[in-house]
Amino acid sequence: MTLDPGYLEYPMRRHGMDHDLYSWSNLFERAPISWPNGSKVLTWIVIDLEWFPIVPNDKPFRAPGHMQTAYPDYRHYTSRDYGSRVGVYRLLDALEKAGARASIAANAAIAARYPALIADIVAAGHEIIAHSTDMNGTIATGVDEDDERRIIADTLSELEKATGTRPTGWLSIARSQSFNTPALLAEAGLSYMCDWVNDDLPYRMRTPEGPILNLPLNHELSDRQILNVQQQSMASYCQQMQDAFAWLAGEAETFGGRMLSLNVTPYITGLPYRMAEFDRLLQWLAAQPGHGFATGGEIAAAAGPQID
C-alpha cells in the first residue's frame, strides 16, 4: 500500500519546534532560575483527587484507572472511592509531618460530593488545582471547542464555589489536550497547566488568548506508572525519587534551581502497606540541604518573572 503524500505535508515542519507555542531551548544553556529561600531543588507534590462515574465514557477515550469490568463494576469503583475516604487523609497526615504543602488536583465532582474533604485540604494550606469535571471529562482533539470550553468553565466554577478561590492551575485527565487547550486555559484566566512533560523546569507558552506557563509533571515519576503499570515495589519507587533528587541537586550546583515533581494517587500510595515508605521519603526530602517543598502556584510565581 502506498502512503498518501498528504501525510508528509505539514506547513509547520521546520528547524526547531513545529508549532508556535514556544521556542526550542536547551535546558543547560538557559539563564539559571533562583528559588525562594535559596533552595536548590523544589519538590512539587501533586495529588490526584478523582471521582470516577461507575459508567465510563469512552469518547474521546476512557480515562486511565476507570471502570474495567461489566456494570456495575463495584471492585474498581469502591477501590477508587477508598482513595477519597481513607487514602487521601493518610497522605495529608504525611505531608503535615514533613512540613510540606502540595497541589491537590481535584475533579469538580469531588468538591460537589465531598465538601468537607475540600475544606480540610484548604484548611491545611494546600493548593487546589483544576482537574476537569470528573473522570469522564476527558479532552482530546475532536472534542468540540465549545464543549471543551464548558468543561473548563464548569470545573473552575465548582471548585471556586467550594473553596472561595478560583484555581490558577490546570491538570488535564491523563495529561491529554486538544490543539485548542492551551489557548482555552489562558482564555479562562489560568496561570499555569501541568500537561506537557517535555522539560524539568517551567516554561512559557504563547497562545492567541495570551501566555500560560507549563509546569512539567513528569508521568514517568508518577506512582501510577511505577507502582501500577511497572508493578514495582514502594521501596523501589522511593529509591527512584531519592535518585532523582540527588541528580537534580547535582545539576543545580552548576545550572541553577531545579524542580522534582511527584504525582501521587490516594488509592495507590494511600494503601496501608505503602504509607510507611512514603512517609520516610517525605522526611528524607525535608532533611536534604538546599531542598524545599512548594505548590505549583508558588513555583509559577517564582519562575514566571525569570522566564523569557
**pLDDT tens, position by position, 68-83:** 999 999 999 999 999 9
Sign of the torsion angle spanned by Cα atoms 23, 28, 29, 30: positive
**Phi/psi of residue 170, nearest 5 degrees:** -135, 130
CB 102 within 8 A of CB 124: no
Residue in 250, 244, 245 with CA at minimum distance from that of residue 288 = 245
Structure confidence at residue 254 (pLDDT): 97
Q: Tell me what the pLDDT averaged over the chain comes to.
A: 96
Domains, in order of start, for the chain: 33-306 (3.20.20.370)
- DSSP-derived 3-state class of residue 18: coil
Q: What span, in angstroms and rounded, lies between the C-alpha atoms of 218 and 53?
A: 26
Q: What span, in angstroms and rounded, lies between the C-alpha atoms of 56 and 62?
A: 7
- Whether the per-residue pLDDT at 164 is higher than 60: the answer is yes
Cα three-residue angle 209-211-212, rounded to 5 degrees:
110
Structure confidence at residue 1 (pLDDT): 57
Q: What span, in angstroms and rounded, lies between the C-alpha atoms of 178 and 193?
A: 13
Distances (CA, A) of 282 to 63, 91, 96, 217, 278: 29, 10, 10, 18, 6
Percent of residues, the chain, with pLDDT higher than 90: 93
pLDDT in tens, 17-61: 788 999 999 999 999 999 999 999 999 999 999 999 999 999 999
CB 53 within 8 A of CB 136: yes
pLDDT bracket for residue 235 (50, 70, 90):
very high
pLDDT in tens, 113-157: 999 999 999 999 999 999 999 999 999 999 999 999 999 999 999
Structure confidence at residue 117 (pLDDT): 98
Q: 142-156 as b/e, with b when 16 or more CB fall inside 10 Å?
A: ebeeeebeebbeebb
Give the N- to C-terminal CA distance of the chain in Å, as an integer. Answer: 47
38: left (phi over 0), alpha (psi -120 to 50) or beta: left
- DSSP-derived 3-state class of residue 210: strand
Q: pTM score, two decimals? A: 0.95
pLDDT in tens, 89-120: 999 999 999 999 999 999 999 999 999 999 99
Listed in sequence order, the DSSP H helices in 56-203 are 74-82, 88-98, 108-113, 115-123, 145-163, 181-187
